[in-house]
Structure formats: structure tokens, C-alpha cells
Amino acid sequence: MTAEARPAPGLRRFWPAALPQGPLDYGRRLWMRVLLASVFLFLYAPIAVLIAFSFNDSKRNIVWQGFTLKYYAVAWNNADLFDAMTNSLIIAAVSTLFATVIGAMVGLQLWRFRFPFKGAYEGFMALPIVIPEITLGVSLMAFFFKLGWMTTDLGWPFNLFPIIIAHIAFCFPFVAIVVRSRMVGFNMQLEEASKDLGASQWQTFRHVLLPYMKPGLIAGALLAFTLSLDDFVITYFTSGPGSVTFPVKVFSMVRRGVTPDINAASTVLIVITVVATVLAMKMQAPDKTGKGQ
């Protein structure tokens, strides 16, 4: 492949057109780089502006007036917003726990077993990912009303249950995909060796399979956590007056206009999800130690 040439010295490094190009050196075409840069600008500039202006000492949010953390204090002291954030974190933590366990089981089952109608079953497991979110949201809303969970006040924290149940339902198929793709690289001979050496099925699972599965489990859990924390549409339909989550609260605030304390609260959420995502990606990266190969 010609695309990977030695870095050119001096100015040429920054002016790719100055380099001799192979016909397939698309990554080096100037227009390609300009396009790439402008799309990334389009993707990141609004977020960067949002983060920058959460630190801006001006209510109108347009011109930079100086650094301040006061909007973080405003957001922190906004009791509704704080409660909503607490709810979001509780929901995300509980649904992550359940979604990871259930998802890992489904992932293991799909990886390990051959059974009739497997293709149809896989399609069924992927349905919550495919179905439009709004349909899932309104169907769960109708269902929970039917059960009477939305009309009677269950009291905090029990009024979070409908949301948690909904989140588990759309998170665990993602966990299953991550765990299954991790297990594909597992060497079955290790399991046989473990059994030959007299380990029980549980011991084999605990000491051979589980350690291999661990990065997949962590990546799946982080994925479920961000999915749950970020979900707006399904939560919007399944939350009641006492169970408002952070995105739902922000939605009602945003409808009234753009204010710096929303920027501050959003920045906090962005930091949480970005950290979780980067960690998850690190975990998902192919295992370089060769363990289990």
C-alpha cells in the first residue's frame, strides 16, 4: 500500500499537495482533508461552544466576558436539576447491573449453542435495537398505565422502576452483542483442558471463561450505562412527575430557551459519557496479550 509513505520533512508535512501522490493516496488529497476537517468542525464546534460558554461570565451567552464557575453552582443548587441527575444516575446504575447480567447470558448462549430457529431468535433479540424509539416509548407508556404503575404514585424510589425496566429492555441486547463478539475469540480447548484437569462446570466458568469475558463485560456495562444515562425518548414517555431524569428535565428547560446553567449541567454529562465511552473502547480493543488464543 502506497498510502503510508515516510513523513516528509518541513513544510511538505503540512502541505500534502506538495508530495508526489499515488492514485490511491486519497487520504493525502487536499480536498479530502479539507472535507474531513470541515465535517469534524461541524460535529464538534457546537459542542465546543456549549462547553466553552458554560464557563462564560455572561447571561446572554454570546460574547466571552471572562471565566466563571458560577453557572456550575447555579446548576448544582437547582434542586430539580440535582434530583433529576440523581434519578438518572440511580436508573443508569441499576439498569446497567441487570442489563449486563442478562445481556452476558444471552451473549454466552448465542455464542455457545446451536439450536432450532437460531436465526429468528437472533433477529428477535435485535428487535429492541431496530424498532423506532418513539414506538417503544409509547408502547411502554401504555403498558405501564395498563398495569397501573403510572397512575398510582409508587413513591420514590419505586416510581423509578418503570424507567429501569424499560432501560434494561433496550440495553441488554447491546451488551449481548459486545459479549458475544468478545467470546468469538475464545479458545474452546482451554475449557476442555480445564474440565480434563477436574474442574467443575462452575469452576471452569469462574476461572477460565469469566476472566476471558471480563473486558467484554466491562465494555458492555459501560455501553449500557451511557445508553441509559443518555436516553431521552423512552424515558420521556415512561417518567412521571416524581421520576424526572436529567435529559427529561433539560428538555423542559431547553424549551424555554438557552441558559448558561443548562450548558454547565450538560458539560458535566458530556464529561461522564465521554470518559465512560473512551474506557469502553479501550476495553473492546483487541486483546494484544494473546491470552486464550
Q: Which of residues 135-174 bind another protein (CB under 8 A)?
A: 135-136, 138-143, 145-146, 165-166, 168-169, 172
* Nearest-approach distance from CB 214 to another protein, in angstroms: 18
* Nearest-approach distance from CB 258 to another protein, in angstroms: 5
* Nearest-approach distance from CB 68 to another protein, in angstroms: 18
- What x/- string results for residues 45 through 74 when contact with another protein is judged by CB under 8 A? xxx-xx--x------xxx------------
Footprint (CB under 8 A) of another protein, residues 192-211: 201
Compute the half-sphere exposure of residue 119: CA atoms within 13 Å on the CB side of its CA.
0
Q: Which is nearer to another protein, 166 or 217 (CB)?
A: 166
User: Rule CB under 8 A: is residue 119 a binding residue for another protein?
Assistant: no
Q: Which is nearer to another protein, 73 or 271 (CB)?
A: 271
* Nearest-approach distance from CB 69 to another protein, in angstroms: 19
Residue type, position 110, single letter: L
User: Rule CB under 8 A: is residue 102 a binding residue for another protein?
Assistant: yes
* Nearest-approach distance from CB 262 to another protein, in angstroms: 7
DSSP string, 212-252: HHHHHHHHHHHHHHHHHHH--HHHHHH--TT---HHHHHHH
Q: How many residues bind another protein (CB under 8 A)?
A: 88
292 contacts: CB under 8 Å, gap ≥ 6: 185, 186, 187, 190, 212
Give the residue among 135, 120, 66, 84 at the shortest CA–CA distance from 242. Answer: 84
Q: Which is nearer to another protein, 78 or 263 (CB)?
A: 263
Buried b (16+ CB within 10 A) or exposed e, 131-145: eeeeebbbebbeebe
User: Rule CB under 8 A: is residue 132 a binding residue for another protein?
Assistant: yes
- What x/- string results for residues 269 through 288 when contact with another protein is judged by CB under 8 A? xx--xx-xxx--x-------
CA distance linking residue 70 with residue 50, whole number of Å: 15
Contacts of 274-283 spanning 24+ positions with Cβ under 8 A: 276/222, 276/225, 276/226, 277/222, 277/226, 279/218, 279/222, 280/218, 280/219, 280/222, 280/223, 280/226, 281/219, 283/215, 283/216, 283/218, 283/219, 283/222
* Nearest-approach distance from CB 12 to another protein, in angstroms: 15
Q: Which is nearer to another protein, 15 or 40 (CB)?
A: 40
Footprint (CB under 8 A) of another protein, residues 226-255: 226, 229-230, 232-233, 237, 247, 250-251, 254-255
Q: Which of 13, 30, 41, 44 binds another protein (CB under 8 A)?
A: 44
Distances (CA, A) of 243 to 21, 135, 190: 59, 21, 47
Window of 76-84, 153-161, 208-216, 260-268 that interacts with another protein by CB under 8 A: 260-268
Give the residue among 186, 177, 185 at the shortest CA–CA distance from 219. Answer: 177
* Nearest-approach distance from CB 78 to another protein, in angstroms: 16
